[in-house]
Amino acid sequence: MKRFGLLVLGLSLMLLIVACSSQSGETNNTEQSGGEKIRIEYWYVNSTDWGGKAVEQIIQNFNSSRNDIEVVGKYIPNQYQGIIQQAQAAIAGNNPPDVSQMGYNYLTYVNDNLPYTPIEQVASLDEKEPNFIKDNFLPNIIDLSRASDGTLVGLSYGLSNPVLYYNADLLREVGWDPDKPPQTWEEVIELSKIVKDKKGAYGLYIQDPPDNWAQYSLVRSNGGKWLEMRNGKLTAVVDSPEVIEVYQMMANMVKEGLALNAKQEEGEQAFGNGRVAMLYTTIGRMSGIKAKSNFDLRTAKSPTFGNKPRVIAAGGNSLVVFSKDEKRKRAAWEFIKFLQSPQSLKLWVEGTGYLPPREGVAEDPNGLKPFLESNPLMKAALEQKDSTVQWANFPGENGLQAEQVLIEAREQILSGRSTAEEALKRAAERINQLLP
């Protein structure tokens, strides 16, 4: 055993020498040039048609501005579900990202289950700008990044809400005034019937990524929710009448050929090709949708259910730090501040369509103000910011499973394999078994 131990020690020293002498290694969590340059890794969900080029440019700009820190970007597919799953695996392998985007709906899960550092603790390492968060972000924007116990997990970055994109040319062709787009879901259904009858096209596509964000916005606008406290215990209420009504409306539209049931890329492509009149998805995908659409593209506010108030989920992500040691945390914080700089946010907003999270950036005449004023597609999202609420989180170690249960219920409903009432009652039972 002693000889084996000496052999392992010798090999470890050799590997250490090789690692220290290398100037071109691509492995995460390494330091270069004898520790003078810290390399950190940044994980993001933005594909090429969803702001990925902007992310790459921001990283390049940061690296050009620093001689002590180098950021290596890593695109993670499958959006926020994919990034939380890969983060778990990386942490288990002792190789976590230093900074990662995390969907707002997963922050309670991160807080309950993953070894991260709350952003206020990271920010406290900054002697020059100790009040950076409070000085630059409104309280309601800060609160989007809190877990259910109130812990501020990360710093809000991606900020969006759902809008109704529509093909104004197609609306004209079927006799609907494009200057008066549908304001309610009842009007969406009415227009969808007209589109089907006159053009043989679908009226609507509602985004279908591996999360329930769009559906949560519909549910909240219909007076429902995912969770509530009952007898001192957090309880799933996804089988309430308000929730069932929303999902059954979606299922009926699919069954009647009024709405397309497809995965995200297929649905957006169908809208871009003119086979769908309206697309309900995040303003954060504006850039990619605009590039795919060769027609008079417009946006409207998220439709309401009759006279009920509009209540929509704030979509997007928070920047969360997983670095282990103080040196890496300091480097991660410097990069986060750079991401939140007016110059970087200008690239971020222009490249994605996300709303700027930092106060004052939207009104800056040398920053985003000209862009926002010249892009009417952003108007609907900006006007309904006051209607946004926090994206619901399923807490506990089984939070991801609970989210998946609801995704599976949606698939059962939209495919016609189950009624909304049946699928959501089963989902409520399963989720309540998973809740802490």
> Is residue 26 very low, low, confident or very high in pLDDT (cuts 50, 70, 90)?
very low
The angle at the Cα of 354, spanning 212 to 385, to the nearest 5 degrees, equals 75
> What sign has the CA pseudo-torsion 284, 282, 139, 320?
negative
Query: What is the rounded CA–CA span in Å between residue 23 and residue 33?
Result: 7
Q: What are phi and psi of 163, to 5 degrees?
A: -130, 165
User: Which of these, 423, 391, 428, lies nearest to 109 by C-alpha position?
Assistant: 391
User: Which of these, 56, 245, 227, 87, lies nearest to 154 by C-alpha position?
Assistant: 87
Q: What are phi and psi of 265, to 5 degrees?
A: -65, -40
The pLDDT value recorded for residue 53 is 96
95-113: average pLDDT: 97
- DSSP states of 310-341 as a string? P-EEPEEEEEEE---SHHHHHHHHHHHHHHTS
Cα–Cα distances in angstroms (integers) from residue 88 to residues 115, 158, 247, 326, in the given order = 10, 21, 31, 21
> Is residue 28 very low, low, confident or very high in pLDDT (cuts 50, 70, 90)?
very low
Q: Give the β-pairing of 315-321 and 155-160.
A: antiparallel
Question: Where in the chain is CATH 3.40.190.10?
Answer: 33-160+315-389, 162-313+394-434
Domain 33-160+315-389 has CATH 3.40.190.10: yes
Q: Does the pLDDT value for residue 414 go beyond 60?
A: yes
- Supply the pTM of this predicted model: 0.84
Least confident of 36-40, 165-169, 270-274, 275-279: 36-40
The pLDDT value recorded for residue 49 is 87
3-state SS, 362-375, equals CCCCCCCHHHHHCC
**pLDDT tens string 42-89:** 999 999 989 999 999 999 999 999 999 999 999 999 999 999 999 999
> Is residue 18 very low, low, confident or very high in pLDDT (cuts 50, 70, 90)?
very low
Q: Which two tokens stand for residue 182?
A: 């549908």
Torsion from C-alpha of 163, 80, 207, 255, nearest 10 degrees: -140
Give the CATH architecture of domain 162-313+394-434: 3-Layer(aba) Sandwich (3.40)
Helix (H, G, I), strand (E, B) or coil at 306: coil
Contacts of 240 (CB under 8 A, 6+ apart): 224, 225
H/E stretch holding 260 reads strand 259-260
Asked if 360 contacts 65 with a C-beta cutoff of 8 angstroms, the reply is no
Least confident of 1-15, 91-105, 278-292, 378-392: 1-15
> Is residue 35 very low, low, confident or very high in pLDDT (cuts 50, 70, 90)?
low
The pLDDT value recorded for residue 367 is 84
Query: What is the rounded CA–CA span in Å between residue 106 and residue 111?
Result: 9
Average pLDDT of the chain, as a whole number: 91
> Is residue 12 very low, low, confident or very high in pLDDT (cuts 50, 70, 90)?
very low
The angle that helices 326-339 and 53-65 make with each other, rounded to 10 degrees, is 120
